Each structure stands twice: as structure tokens, then as C-alpha cells.
Amino acid sequence: MLCFCVAFSGCTSGVVEKTTTSSAAVTTETTTAATTSIESSKEYPEDCIVDPSVFERLGKSINLEFKDKTVIQTGEVNARKYSLTVDLSGWEGNTTPEQIGELSRLFWQVYPALYERFGKLSDAPSDVVLLIEDHGYEVAESWENKVHIHDKWLYNNTEDYDCFTHELAHVIQHGWDGDNLEYDSYIERFADYCRFVYCLDNGAYNDHVWTLQTVADESSRKTSVRFLVWLDYKLSSSGRDFMKDYFLICTKGTYAASKWKKAWEELFKGTEFEGRSIEDVWKEYAESEFASVSSYSDSEITSELISKYDVRTKAKSLKG
């Protein structure tokens, strides 16, 4: 999948996909001080996360252990134990220690929230390994509980932390089978749904480096991330979590690809869309304001989409 954005970025699960990066969003400048810090830290991974504020800002108590070029972070959130192991054995120093700290903070902010809502349904792992290395893929990829981020991606795309959010969503999916989805592209659509809704610091980085495409560019449910965001906003509530039910059908493989008309009927049952076809619901979405308003923002201004439809606050209130 190509995730079209201000800078094109893509993340994959098991399959490496081509991506394109716009020159406007690429920077290759580094200061001498930063280079020195990187070089001096290569043999000492503990130097990558020495600033206590990385975790203090989360209000969480995270234990750190340094072993064989790895940083092992363990903690408990809502009575569940989680761990993130940052493997730096293939790190060449392009991703800065500060960026590694932000990726760590993202994990503790995002992954427990994803797990509470979805991960329990798929029996997803609570222990995740992040490898930062240069192994040929352009952005990131994941399989099982391992996420790989290319060592030069954040070097060139200095604020695209939420490619990690996308990959964590693949870990949460825990082996969705494309043969039991209406379209196998739903694997990527869900991961990008998570990237938009659960992004670091409520989109402080995401919304000016990655764009939720409008209906003009993603013109079918096969390709549309925004359609899932809209369905969640319209239909999920404390009494009925639409996206949790969608996730469960995808996880269990309840319906073969040819039987997804029945899947949509099941999902719409008890909602305002009950009795309507998926094509009819898509048409309502495509003609709505939601389908076209901009999701772009700079670091100071909330996007038009979020200012009109607070999809993140609503979605994050649903704990599973």
C-alpha cells in the first residue's frame, strides 16, 4: 500500500512495499553535535534513552534494562504487563537517540490503548521488539511481535513517528488472513485507521506529515481509510463499539471474501444503517462533508476534520 501524505510514506506487514518521499519533506541536515552524540552512543545503547522526561511525560513508571545492545522497557498499564525491547544491534546511528526516545514514548502511549480495545480479541502479544536497522526495506515492516524501522527513515523524515503506530496495529491484528476479508487491502486500511486515530500526541506529528485521503483520492471502500474512520465516528458508542465488531469479524475470519455482504449486514444490525446495503452506506459517506474536509494541520493548528468531528476523543473513550 502507498500511504499518500505530505511526504509519501508506507508501512507493511510481512510484505515490503515501495514508497515515495517528497523532496519538500526530506531533510538530510544534521548538526555536528548530533553526529557526535550518535557516534558516541552506538556502542552504548543506554545513552539512547537517558532523559527521564521521555517517560515522566507519560505519567507511567517504566523500568529500563540494558543488555547486549538492547534497551528493554517494562511496565504495567491497566493491570497488564507490557514490554518494548529496542534492538540496536543493526543500528548505524542515523536515527537519533532523541528519536528513539520518541518512538519509545509512542509505544507506551499507543500500544496499551490499542491492546485494550482490540488486542484482547486477537490474543495479540504484549511484548514487542523494535529493531532499528538498514536491511533493504524503505520504511518499516512487521511480523509476529517484531517491528523493523529503517535506520534512515526518521533521518530523512524527521517527524514521521506514526509509521510505528501503523506497524503496531499490524502486531495487534496478529495474523489477519486476507482470504477471509472482503479485500485483503483491509489489513492496511485498518492499520492506517489506527495511525490516524491513535497517533502520537493526538496528531501533533502525524497530521502535517501524513494525510487522511479524501473520497476523491480513495474512491472505494477497498482503498478508503477515511470510510472506516467515518463508520467508527457514526456508529461506535459506549453501548456498541462498531470497530471492535469489525475487528473481531476480521480476526476470526468469519466470512469468506465472497460472503462479506452478510458481514456488513451483521455489522449494521442495530445501528442507523440496519437494513441498508454497503453500497448505499458508501454513497452516503461519499456525499458527506466528512469525506472531503482536510485532515492536514501544522503543529499549531488543528485540522478542519478534527475541529469539526472529534473522532479521536470518541474512539479513545472506547476501551473494549
Residue 128 lies in a domain: yes
Say whether pLDDT at 188 is over 70.
yes
The whole-chain average pLDDT of the chain stands at: 84
Determine the average pLDDT of the residues in 272-277: 97
pLDDT of residue 194: 98
Residue 1 lies in a domain: no
Start-to-end CA distance of the chain, whole Å, equals 28
17 vs 242: CA distance, rounded Å: 30
Say whether pLDDT at 270 is over 90.
yes
Nearest to 25 by CA among 149, 156, 138, 166: 156
pLDDT of residue 60: 72
Q: Which residues have a Cβ under 8 Å from the Cβ of 35 and sit 6 or more positions away? A: none
Q: What is the DSSP letter of 32?
A: H
User: Which of residues 238 and 107 earns the better pLDDT score?
Assistant: 107
202 vs 200: CA distance, rounded Å: 6
pLDDT of residue 20: 32
pTM listed for this prediction: 0.85
Q: Are 70 and 86 in contact (CB under 8 A)?
A: yes
Lowest mean pLDDT among 47-51, 191-195, 231-235, 315-319: 47-51
Residue 3 lies in a domain: no
Say whether pLDDT at 13 is over 60.
no
Q: What is the DSSP letter of 119?
A: I
Nearest to 142 by CA among 130, 152, 151, 134: 130
2 vs 241: CA distance, rounded Å: 28
CA angle, residues 212, 319, 195, in degrees to nearest 5: 20
Residue 95 lies in a domain: yes
Q: Which residues pair with 74 in a beta bridge?
A: 63, 83
3-class SS of residue 245: helix
3 vs 250: CA distance, rounded Å: 21
Q: What is the pLDDT of residues 142-169, one digit of tens each?
A: 989 999 999 999 999 999 999 999 999 9
41-55, 58-72, 230-244, range with greatest mean pLDDT: 230-244
User: Which of residues 52 and 66 earns the better pLDDT score?
Assistant: 66
- For every residue of 54-77, DSSP letters joined together read HHHTTT---EEEEETTEEEEEEEE
3-state secondary structure 185-206: CHHHHHHHHHHHHCCHHHHCCH
Residue 268 lies in a domain: yes
Q: How many domains, the chain? A: 1
Determine the average pLDDT of the residues in 304-319: 92
Q: What is the CATH number of the domain that holds 109?
A: 1.10.390
Q: What is the pLDDT of residues 30-59, one digit of tens each?
A: 222 222 233 334 444 555 554 556 667 666
Strands 80-87 and 127-133: parallel
Determine the average pLDDT of the residues in 254-279: 97
User: Which of residues 33 and 180 earns the better pLDDT score?
Assistant: 180
pLDDT of residue 75: 93
> 101: domain range?
11-316
pLDDT of residue 49: 56
